[in-house]
Every structure is written in structure tokens, then in C-alpha cells.
Chains A and B, each alone.
Chain A
Amino acid sequence: MNRQLSTRARIAQYAILIAFTIFALYPVWFAILASGRQGDRLYSLNIAGMFLPVEWTFENYQAMLFEKPLLGWLRNSLYVASLTTIASLLITTSAAFAFSRFRFRGREFGLILLLAMQTFPGVLALIAVAQVLTALGLYRTHEGLILAYTTATLVFSTWNMKGYFDTIPIDLEEAAMIDGCGPIQSFILIALPLARPALAVTALLGFLSGWGEFIFASVLVPAPDTMKLAVPGLFSLAGDQNVPWGYFAAGGMMIIIPTIIVFLFLQRQLQAGLMAGGVKG
């Protein structure tokens, strides 16, 4: 809309933007404040403390880093999330390439099947998944969790990648094929490098599904404490009777802040990768 807006419309725009910015940032800000508060209190009874850093201490961070098993949890999460990312990338890009480029019987059916499978509530399949993992000898191991996560990312990532491959002109690959390039080579040498934005999205979502997930992680790797992942580990802290909220908030910040930073850095790619890909009609 091209016209110069009236002053009143301008003010309304900024008012809405500022109101929603506060709405968007306050919960994170609150958690940051809580992570620097002394003692076990979550609330400061002093109302200013709810909005401004009137007191600040790094004690909670120190305790979380050196006394609690947080570092171990973070390492576990990092391991699971990274391997999930790699597995998810390998599997979904190749399937998406096939769905996008080849015409074969059952193609349409396969695509719809993928979407339909996703509608079965994941929590309810959990018992069966745990049993399958037990049968494979992978229950209570990180590898089992990686398998479960990877399959959980299959649907969205395959669809998204397929959508992106669809937007890449096929001419280049055809030219390569005339030069004697097989489908596998043209996939690896031509299609993959062109699909970089979508790869970034797939990787990020794969990573986050391992990094922040709660239910599968808490059921499939319930114990011991050293094997837990970061989110269930922290949540188990919060389930305690006298919850050390300061610790909890500090730990939460150490998990959330890196995520937010990565997201902000990849924002442009995210938008590009998502827009060209699956969610678009």
C-alpha cells in the first residue's frame, strides 16, 4: 500500500507494534530476571523486581554449571540433536528428491500417507514406540531416542524439501544427464547445493526437535540422571517440592538463549526456506 499514511495511522501502527513487542519479549525478560535473583525465590515481592533487574547475581548460573548435572544434560541433548539433524537431512532430502523428480506408482499415495501418519497423536504411539525400541535393544539409550526423533521429523521435512525441489528448475539436471550424469550424481552434485535454504530449515527443525522435545525424551530415557536430556532434566528440577526456581531459570536461559540466537541468525533463510517450500500452496 503505497500512500503516505496519516499521522494518526502511524501512531496507531507504532502503538500496536510496541504493545506486541512488549508481549513478545516480557516472558523471556522475566525469565532472565529470575535467573539472576538470589535464593530460591521466583518472585520478588518488590514489584519493581518483576520488571527491572534490581538485584543481580551469577550464583544460579555457577550452581547450575558446576554443582548440578546441567552440563552433562546439555552434552546429551547436543549429541542427540546433532545426530538427529544429520539422520534427518540424509533421509528426508533423498526421499523428497524422489518425490519431486521421479514419477512412479504410489507417489501421490506416498505423499498423502506421510501426511496422514502425522495425524496419529504422537503421545499415543509412545508406548508402541517404546516397545519397538525395546525389541531393537535401544530403549533407554540415546540412539533409540535419535531414531524416534528422526522419524518424527520425516513428514514435515520431506514435504518442505519436496516443495523446495519443485521450485528448482529441472533443466540443469537434464543437461547434466545428457552429459552422462546418473540420478544419484545429479541429486548430490546439482540439486542439493541449489536447495541450501531449505536444507538450513530442515537442519534447524531437525536440531530443535531433538533439543527442545520433552515427552519422548522423558519416557524413552527416563533414568539415570546422567543420561537425561536437558529439557526433561530441568523439568524434573521444577517438579521438586521446594523448587529452586533461580536454578531452574538459569538453566532454562542456558538452553533457550542459544536457540533464540540461532533462530535470529537464520531468520532470513528460514523465511526463504519455508516460503518456497512445504507450507506454500
Chain B
Amino acid sequence: MISWSRRRKFLTVLLFVAPTLIGILLFNIFPITLSTYTSFTNRNKFHPNPDCDVGLTGVLDPLCWPAFRENAPKGLAEPYRLQDPLIGNYQGVIGTLFTGEALGALLQIGICFVPLIAASVVNRRFAKMASPPVSPSVVWLGALVLGLVIAFALNVGEAFGALESSGDFFVVVFRTILFVVARVPLTFLIGLTLALILNSQYLRGRTFFRVALFVPWAASSLAILMALVWQFFFRERGVLNQVLQLVGLDPFAWLSNGATAFGAIVATDIWFSYPFFMLAILGALQSIPGDTYEAAEVDGASYWQQLRKITLPLIRPAILPAVVLTSISAFQMFGTAWAITRGGPVVSAGQPGATEFVIVYAYKQIFSSQNYGRASAFAVILFIFLFAVTLYSLRLTRITKGAYE
């Protein structure tokens, strides 16, 4: 790039970036700061109003800014103030997760995964050898069996029960992770299968299938309306039950049972999100030169060998960022669950429902219970967690690298 004076460069860059900066400052950084502050206060429906004379409240709460200060609502209730102890909301959110019993339970569950981690280390070692003593799948299988045996020996079910009673936080986050673990790999598999088929040669009607399979993504921009349509399928007199009756089976209340409601939401969300993977993988596949396969063909590699040794490694760099981004957005899924179950079915009052994923839970805390302080604490914890995941995945995928670096 041609050099220019330092001052002019600064001004030019500022001109280009300023609108974005202002937007981020007003609608991202400020809300995050205010939420962090709120998370240390007892703001809720009984204490909704600010006390502008308290230092930070006066600065941060927009109601206290000069233009509003005079008209700031006073109300009859006490204004909100800092919690005593300061981290009270965080304690409330996390519950008894950090007590001996719960941590012990967490450790017990962690131990069950040790064989799997060991297996991955061993396999990486083996991959460097010319002739590994055991095949990778045997190692995985052994690790899996060992993990299950340990799980059984340590009575993980009980440990899990102890964790569940530690508070909403564990329950909600665990369910959400379960949702991500169920949804993302399934979506990936479906997307991969369809992309491979669409990419194969001599396929008749390719355009038709590609367009038809793409429709859900177009509809996903209106997720909440389409999710309502999906809800109709699972209702007591919905399509699913009518078809069941036709075959002679008993209808089932899909959305009143925790497990099936969860399954319904996973199915719906897969419908929304597989086309994205399909398209991304299709694009990556088309960038693989055909002669790569010809060489493999000459060497007599089977379809599966080609898939595992050529196709997957080659599309990996293009697909990994997509996997990370979809995982994060799946973690923050809201519309589908809200339209279909509203977080229900609720088993007992005061407990989060079976499909109350993190954002649904937070939404309810804000708009139903108006428990701002608590919800903000929850948001801050989530933010730290997601922030860490994002940074780690950035390192993993190197997407911040520019083209000319």
C-alpha cells in the first residue's frame, strides 16, 4: 500500500470505521457494561428505579442522564442498590454448584471421560507410527467401554442427581449443551450426506433437489412463524398423531413429555439449519480438484477411503469455522423453543421446564419474573463462557488471519 502521512492515515481509517465503532459502543459495549453493573444490584420488579445519587448508578443508568434526571421515575418502592454481599446474584444463579458435594459429583462425571481423552492422545501418537499396533477404532471402543464401566462403578446417576439439585444454572446449561451436542453433529451429517450426493456426477434433477432442499433456510429467517407450524405437527391432534392413528397406534402427547418435547425441538431446529451446512459443504466440495480422486482411484481406494482420507481433510478448513459459528448460535437458540414449548413442559413449579434452554430461561427471568439483577448475572456468566469458547475457536480456526498477512 502506498504510504501517506500518519495523520491523514489516522483520519481516513477513522472515517471508515467510526460508524461501526459508535454502533458497537452504544448497542454492544454500553449494554454489556450496564448489564454487568446491574448484575451486582438487587434490581427487580420490587426495586425497578434508580437512585441517581449513588455514584455508578448516576453515570450508567440512562434514566439518570442529564436529559432525564428530572423526570426519572421515583415510584413508591425503594430504588435498587448494590447487593449485599456484592456477588449475591451470582450465588443465586450458580446455586450450590461450588460446594463440596456438587464439585465431587462433577469430578465423578469428569473421571468417566478420562478414558476417551486418553484414547484421543493415544490415537494421535499412533497416527505418527508407520504401523500402529491397534487400529484407532479399537482404541475408541475400548475407551468407551472403560468409560461406561467407570460410570457404572461410580454411580454417575446419583452424582448427576446431586448436580441437578444444585440449582437452575447447572440444569439449564447442561440441557443447552445437550441440545448443541444433539443438533450440530446431526445437522452436519445430514448436510454432508446431501452435499456429497448433490456433488456426485450424472445426477438427474440436481437443480430441483438443490433448490427444494434449500427452502428451509429461506424460511428460517422467519423462524418463529415456521416453528409455530412445526408445533402443529406435534400437537395432540396434530399430523404426527393422526398418522399414528391411521396406522393403528395410540396418539401421544409429544409436547407434554420432557424427552419428546426436547426431540421435537431438535428436529425442528435441524430443519432450519441443515441447508446452511449443505451449502457450505457443497461449496467446499466443488473447490476440490477432480484429479485428486483420479490418483486415488488408480491406487484402488474405495469410496469410504476416498471420503475419509481425501474429502474430509480437504473440506475441514472451510467447514470448521461454520461448525463453530453454528454451535455458538445453537447455544443461543431462542425462537424455536419459544414458539413450540415456551420452555415447557414444567415438571414442578419453580423449576425450569424440560426445554428451557439458556436464552429461554433468561428471557423468562427478565420478562416474566422481571428479575433483572439475577438475569444480568446469568448473562455475564454466559458471556464469559461464550467469550472464552470464541477466542479458543478463533485460535483453532485462524479466521482472523487476513488474506495478505
Contact = CB atoms under 8 A, between A and B. Distances in A.
Interface residues of A, number: 106
B15 to A, nearest CB: 8
Contacts of A99: 17, 402
A151 interface: yes
Interface stretch (A57-65, A68-76, A192-200, A210-218): A210-218
B193 A16 contact: yes
B164 interface: no
Given A98-B17, A119-B387, A2 B27 contact: no
Interface in B191-216: 193-194, 197-198, 200-203, 209-216
Given A97-B16, A98-B17, A158-B20, A117 B29 contact: yes
Nearest to A137: B67
B20 A95 contact: yes
B197 A13 contact: yes
A90 interface: yes
A25 B215 contact: yes
Given A151-B26, A264-B214, A121 B303 contact: no
Given A27-B271, A123-B359, A281 B320 contact: yes
B222 A256 contact: yes
Interface of A is mostly: helix
B1 interface: yes
Contact of A102 (B9, B65, B200, B290): B9
Contact of A166 (B202, B379, B403): B403
Interface string B209-227: 1111111111101111110
Interface of B is mostly: helix
Contacts of B394: 112, 115
Interface in A27-58: 27-28, 30-31, 34, 42-43, 45, 47, 50
Instruction: Give the interface centre of A27, A43, A184, A249 by most chain B CB atoms within 10 Å.
Output: A27
15 contacts: A16-B193, A17-B197, A24-B212, A28-B226, A114-B24, A120-B386, A128-B31, A132-B26, A134-B62, A151-B26, A212-B223, A214-B224, A214-B335, A256-B225, A279-B318
Interface of A: 1-5, 13, 16-17, 20-21, 23-25, 27-28, 30-31, 34, 42-43, 45, 47, 50, 90-92, 94-95, 97-104, 108, 110-117, 119-129, 131-132, 134-135, 147-148, 150-152, 154, 158, 162, 166-167, 170, 174, 177-178, 183-184, 187, 208-209, 211-212, 214-215, 231, 234-235, 238, 248-249, 252, 255-256, 259-260, 262-264, 267, 270-271, 274-275, 278-281
